[in-house]
Amino acid sequence: MDLAALIDGRLEALVDQVAARQRQDFGHTSSDLKPDGSLITDCDRWSDATLVQGLQELHPGEGVLSEEGCKQLPASEAYWVVDPLDGTTNFAAGIPYWAISIARFEAGVPVLAILDVPPLRQRIIALRGRGAWRNGKPLTPPALLTRPSACASLCSRSIRVLQCLPQQRFPAKIRLLGVASLNLVSVAMGQTVAALEASPKIWDLAAAWLVLQELHCPLRWLAESPEGLASGRDLGRTNFPVLVADSPEKLALFAPWAEALRVSEQR
Protein backbone atom coordinates (compact mmCIF):
# COMPACT_ATOMS: atom_id res chain seq x y z
CA MET A 1 0.00 0.00 0.00
CA ASP A 2 1.43 3.40 -1.04
CA LEU A 3 1.18 5.59 2.06
CA ALA A 4 2.13 8.71 0.10
CA ALA A 5 -0.99 8.27 -2.00
CA LEU A 6 -3.17 8.14 1.12
CA ILE A 7 -1.79 11.13 3.06
CA ASP A 8 -2.05 14.78 2.00
CA GLY A 9 1.50 15.95 1.41
CA ARG A 10 0.52 19.45 2.59
CA LEU A 11 -0.38 18.02 5.99
CA GLU A 12 2.99 16.32 6.30
CA ALA A 13 4.70 19.54 5.22
CA LEU A 14 2.89 21.37 8.02
CA VAL A 15 4.13 18.83 10.57
CA ASP A 16 7.64 19.06 9.07
CA GLN A 17 7.59 22.83 9.59
CA VAL A 18 6.60 22.53 13.25
CA ALA A 19 9.03 19.68 13.96
CA ALA A 20 11.92 21.66 12.47
CA ARG A 21 11.11 24.70 14.62
CA GLN A 22 10.94 22.55 17.75
CA ARG A 23 14.33 21.02 17.06
CA GLN A 24 15.70 24.52 16.50
CA ASP A 25 14.23 25.84 19.77
CA PHE A 26 15.22 22.81 21.87
CA GLY A 27 17.65 23.91 24.55
CA HIS A 28 17.06 27.59 23.79
CA THR A 29 13.66 28.34 25.29
CA SER A 30 12.34 29.28 28.72
CA SER A 31 9.18 28.00 30.36
CA ASP A 32 6.49 29.30 32.68
CA LEU A 33 3.52 27.81 34.47
CA LYS A 34 -0.04 27.50 33.23
CA PRO A 35 -2.93 27.91 35.71
CA ASP A 36 -3.09 24.12 36.19
CA GLY A 37 0.56 24.05 37.25
CA SER A 38 1.92 22.42 34.07
CA LEU A 39 4.73 23.93 32.03
CA ILE A 40 4.40 25.87 28.79
CA THR A 41 7.02 27.41 26.52
CA ASP A 42 6.92 29.93 23.71
CA CYS A 43 7.55 26.99 21.39
CA ASP A 44 4.35 25.31 22.64
CA ARG A 45 2.39 28.46 21.85
CA TRP A 46 3.94 28.94 18.41
CA SER A 47 3.48 25.25 17.53
CA ASP A 48 -0.16 25.29 18.59
CA ALA A 49 -0.98 28.46 16.65
CA THR A 50 0.85 27.22 13.54
CA LEU A 51 -0.84 23.81 13.53
CA VAL A 52 -4.32 25.20 14.19
CA GLN A 53 -4.00 27.83 11.46
CA GLY A 54 -2.51 25.32 9.03
CA LEU A 55 -5.27 22.77 9.60
CA GLN A 56 -7.96 25.42 9.19
CA GLU A 57 -6.42 26.49 5.89
CA LEU A 58 -6.10 22.90 4.65
CA HIS A 59 -9.58 21.85 5.83
CA PRO A 60 -11.90 24.86 5.97
CA GLY A 61 -15.00 24.24 8.04
CA GLU A 62 -13.43 21.53 10.18
CA GLY A 63 -12.97 22.56 13.80
CA VAL A 64 -9.75 22.16 15.79
CA LEU A 65 -9.46 21.31 19.49
CA SER A 66 -5.96 21.94 20.81
CA GLU A 67 -4.20 21.86 24.16
CA GLU A 68 -3.14 25.50 24.05
CA GLY A 69 -6.19 26.80 22.16
CA CYS A 70 -9.91 26.00 22.08
CA LYS A 71 -10.73 23.00 24.25
CA GLN A 72 -14.36 22.69 23.26
CA LEU A 73 -15.28 19.74 21.07
CA PRO A 74 -16.04 21.19 17.62
CA ALA A 75 -19.53 20.96 16.18
CA SER A 76 -18.31 20.13 12.66
CA GLU A 77 -18.87 16.60 11.36
CA ALA A 78 -15.11 16.11 11.04
CA TYR A 79 -12.64 17.81 13.37
CA TRP A 80 -9.04 17.70 14.56
CA VAL A 81 -7.48 17.15 17.99
CA VAL A 82 -3.97 18.54 18.45
CA ASP A 83 -1.26 18.36 21.09
CA PRO A 84 1.42 20.62 19.62
CA LEU A 85 4.20 19.51 21.97
CA ASP A 86 3.46 16.51 24.16
CA GLY A 87 6.23 16.25 26.73
CA THR A 88 6.85 19.92 27.52
CA THR A 89 8.55 19.03 30.81
CA ASN A 90 11.09 16.91 28.91
CA PHE A 91 11.51 19.62 26.27
CA ALA A 92 12.03 22.40 28.82
CA ALA A 93 14.43 20.28 30.89
CA GLY A 94 16.64 19.44 27.90
CA ILE A 95 15.51 15.81 27.65
CA PRO A 96 15.27 15.01 23.91
CA TYR A 97 12.01 13.08 23.89
CA TRP A 98 8.68 14.68 22.98
CA ALA A 99 6.00 14.39 20.30
CA ILE A 100 3.59 16.24 18.05
CA SER A 101 0.17 14.57 18.15
CA ILE A 102 -2.55 15.18 15.56
CA ALA A 103 -5.75 13.20 14.95
CA ARG A 104 -8.71 13.74 12.63
CA PHE A 105 -12.07 12.56 13.99
CA GLU A 106 -15.22 11.50 12.18
CA ALA A 107 -18.36 10.24 13.92
CA GLY A 108 -16.64 10.64 17.28
CA VAL A 109 -13.60 8.42 16.63
CA PRO A 110 -10.13 9.06 15.16
CA VAL A 111 -9.73 8.13 11.50
CA LEU A 112 -6.28 9.61 10.82
CA ALA A 113 -3.40 9.92 13.29
CA ILE A 114 0.05 11.46 13.06
CA LEU A 115 2.53 11.09 15.91
CA ASP A 116 5.81 12.81 15.09
CA VAL A 117 8.86 12.48 17.35
CA PRO A 118 11.06 15.42 16.23
CA PRO A 119 14.26 14.56 18.14
CA LEU A 120 14.26 11.03 16.69
CA ARG A 121 12.96 12.10 13.25
CA GLN A 122 10.36 9.37 13.47
CA ARG A 123 6.78 9.68 12.28
CA ILE A 124 3.99 7.23 13.01
CA ILE A 125 0.88 7.43 10.85
CA ALA A 126 -2.33 5.42 11.22
CA LEU A 127 -5.43 5.29 9.02
CA ARG A 128 -8.61 3.66 10.23
CA GLY A 129 -9.04 0.27 8.61
CA ARG A 130 -5.74 0.46 6.73
CA GLY A 131 -3.00 0.02 9.33
CA ALA A 132 -0.10 1.99 10.78
CA TRP A 133 3.37 2.94 9.54
CA ARG A 134 6.63 4.28 10.97
CA ASN A 135 8.62 6.42 8.55
CA GLY A 136 6.63 4.90 5.71
CA LYS A 137 7.16 1.25 6.65
CA PRO A 138 4.20 -0.86 7.83
CA LEU A 139 4.16 -1.71 11.53
CA THR A 140 3.56 -5.25 12.76
CA PRO A 141 1.04 -5.83 15.57
CA PRO A 142 3.04 -6.39 18.77
CA ALA A 143 1.30 -9.71 19.44
CA LEU A 144 3.06 -11.07 16.35
CA LEU A 145 6.55 -9.96 17.35
CA THR A 146 8.97 -12.73 18.27
CA ARG A 147 10.80 -10.83 21.02
CA PRO A 148 8.22 -9.37 23.41
CA SER A 149 9.24 -6.63 25.79
CA ALA A 150 9.48 -7.15 29.56
CA CYS A 151 8.58 -3.53 30.31
CA ALA A 152 5.38 -1.65 31.15
CA SER A 153 4.88 2.09 30.91
CA LEU A 154 3.43 4.13 33.79
CA CYS A 155 2.79 7.84 34.06
CA SER A 156 3.93 9.86 37.06
CA ARG A 157 0.47 9.69 38.65
CA SER A 158 -0.14 5.99 38.01
CA ILE A 159 3.17 4.98 39.63
CA ARG A 160 1.40 5.00 43.00
CA VAL A 161 -0.49 1.84 42.06
CA LEU A 162 2.64 -0.04 43.12
CA GLN A 163 1.76 0.89 46.70
CA CYS A 164 -1.91 -0.04 46.31
CA LEU A 165 -1.21 -3.77 45.93
CA PRO A 166 1.80 -4.33 48.22
CA GLN A 167 1.26 -8.09 48.36
CA GLN A 168 1.41 -8.51 44.59
CA ARG A 169 4.55 -8.24 42.49
CA PHE A 170 4.15 -5.89 39.56
CA PRO A 171 4.48 -8.15 36.49
CA ALA A 172 6.97 -6.07 34.47
CA LYS A 173 9.88 -3.69 34.60
CA ILE A 174 8.75 -0.08 34.73
CA ARG A 175 9.37 2.75 32.30
CA LEU A 176 8.26 6.39 32.71
CA LEU A 177 8.85 8.21 29.45
CA GLY A 178 7.26 11.53 30.37
CA VAL A 179 5.20 11.75 27.16
CA ALA A 180 1.63 10.46 27.46
CA SER A 181 1.08 9.80 23.75
CA LEU A 182 4.36 7.91 23.44
CA ASN A 183 3.76 6.03 26.71
CA LEU A 184 0.60 4.64 25.14
CA VAL A 185 1.94 4.02 21.67
CA SER A 186 4.99 2.23 23.10
CA VAL A 187 2.67 -0.78 23.44
CA ALA A 188 1.75 -0.69 19.77
CA MET A 189 5.44 -0.45 18.85
CA GLY A 190 6.35 -3.54 20.89
CA GLN A 191 8.50 -1.46 23.25
CA THR A 192 6.31 -2.27 26.26
CA VAL A 193 3.66 -4.90 26.96
CA ALA A 194 1.23 -2.55 28.72
CA ALA A 195 0.73 1.10 29.61
CA LEU A 196 -1.32 2.73 32.34
CA GLU A 197 -2.20 6.41 32.14
CA ALA A 198 -4.01 8.00 35.10
CA SER A 199 -5.01 11.38 33.71
CA PRO A 200 -4.59 11.76 29.95
CA LYS A 201 -6.56 14.49 28.23
CA ILE A 202 -8.19 13.95 24.83
CA TRP A 203 -5.21 15.58 23.06
CA ASP A 204 -2.78 13.24 24.84
CA LEU A 205 -4.44 10.07 23.61
CA ALA A 206 -6.22 10.97 20.34
CA ALA A 207 -3.49 9.88 17.90
CA ALA A 208 -2.16 7.01 20.02
CA TRP A 209 -5.69 5.63 20.33
CA LEU A 210 -5.95 4.99 16.59
CA VAL A 211 -2.42 3.58 16.32
CA LEU A 212 -3.25 1.10 19.10
CA GLN A 213 -6.50 0.08 17.45
CA GLU A 214 -4.91 -0.43 14.05
CA LEU A 215 -2.27 -2.70 15.60
CA HIS A 216 -4.92 -4.71 17.50
CA CYS A 217 -3.94 -3.61 21.02
CA PRO A 218 -6.89 -3.84 23.44
CA LEU A 219 -7.82 -0.81 25.53
CA ARG A 220 -9.81 -0.55 28.75
CA TRP A 221 -11.18 2.87 29.66
CA LEU A 222 -11.14 3.16 33.45
CA ALA A 223 -13.78 5.88 33.62
CA GLU A 224 -15.50 7.64 30.73
CA SER A 225 -14.79 6.58 27.16
CA PRO A 226 -13.73 9.36 24.76
CA GLU A 227 -15.75 7.82 21.92
CA GLY A 228 -18.73 9.77 20.62
CA LEU A 229 -18.48 12.79 22.92
CA ALA A 230 -21.06 15.57 22.50
CA SER A 231 -20.05 18.60 20.46
CA GLY A 232 -19.54 21.81 22.38
CA ARG A 233 -18.32 20.06 25.49
CA ASP A 234 -15.31 21.65 27.19
CA LEU A 235 -12.70 18.91 27.66
CA GLY A 236 -10.06 21.04 29.30
CA ARG A 237 -10.47 19.34 32.70
CA THR A 238 -11.68 15.91 31.59
CA ASN A 239 -9.38 12.93 32.09
CA PHE A 240 -9.69 9.61 30.28
CA PRO A 241 -7.68 7.12 32.37
CA VAL A 242 -6.85 4.02 30.36
CA LEU A 243 -5.06 0.69 30.41
CA VAL A 244 -3.68 -0.66 27.13
CA ALA A 245 -1.84 -3.91 26.42
CA ASP A 246 -0.42 -5.88 23.53
CA SER A 247 -2.97 -8.72 23.94
CA PRO A 248 -6.16 -9.56 25.85
CA GLU A 249 -4.13 -11.83 28.12
CA LYS A 250 -1.78 -9.00 29.09
CA LEU A 251 -4.73 -6.67 29.59
CA ALA A 252 -6.16 -9.14 32.10
CA LEU A 253 -2.77 -9.52 33.79
CA PHE A 254 -2.48 -5.79 34.46
CA ALA A 255 -6.17 -5.25 35.21
CA PRO A 256 -5.79 -5.44 39.04
CA TRP A 257 -3.42 -2.45 38.97
CA ALA A 258 -5.75 -0.56 36.66
CA GLU A 259 -8.64 -1.22 39.03
CA ALA A 260 -6.51 -0.07 41.99
CA LEU A 261 -5.78 3.13 40.10
CA ARG A 262 -9.45 3.67 39.32
CA VAL A 263 -10.41 3.25 42.97
CA SER A 264 -7.64 5.56 44.18
CA GLU A 265 -8.74 8.26 41.72
CA GLN A 266 -12.26 8.18 43.19
CA ARG A 267 -11.07 8.84 46.76
**103-136 pLDDT, tens digit each:** 999 999 999 999 999 999 999 999 999 999 999 9
Distance (Å, whole) CA 220 – CA 64: 26
Q: Is the pLDDT of residue 24 over 90?
A: yes
Specify which of 37-51, 174-188, 250-264 reaches the highest per-range mean pLDDT.
174-188
Residue extents of the structural domains in the chain: 3-138, 142-266
Distance (Å, whole) CA 209 – CA 200: 11
Tell which residue, 114, 111, 59, has the closest CA to residue 86: 114
Q: Ramachandran region of residue 95, left (φ > 0), alpha (ψ -120 to 50) or beta?
A: beta
**CATH architecture designation of domain 3-138:** 2-Layer Sandwich (3.30)
pLDDT tens for 53-85 read 999 999 999 999 999 999 999 999 999 999 999
Count helices and strands in the chain by DSSP H and E runs:
8, 14
Cβ within 8 Å of residue 62, ≥6 positions away: 55, 56, 74, 76, 78, 79, 80, 104
Looking at CATH, the fold of the domain delimited by 142-266 is given as: D-Maltodextrin-Binding Protein; domain 2 (3.40.190)
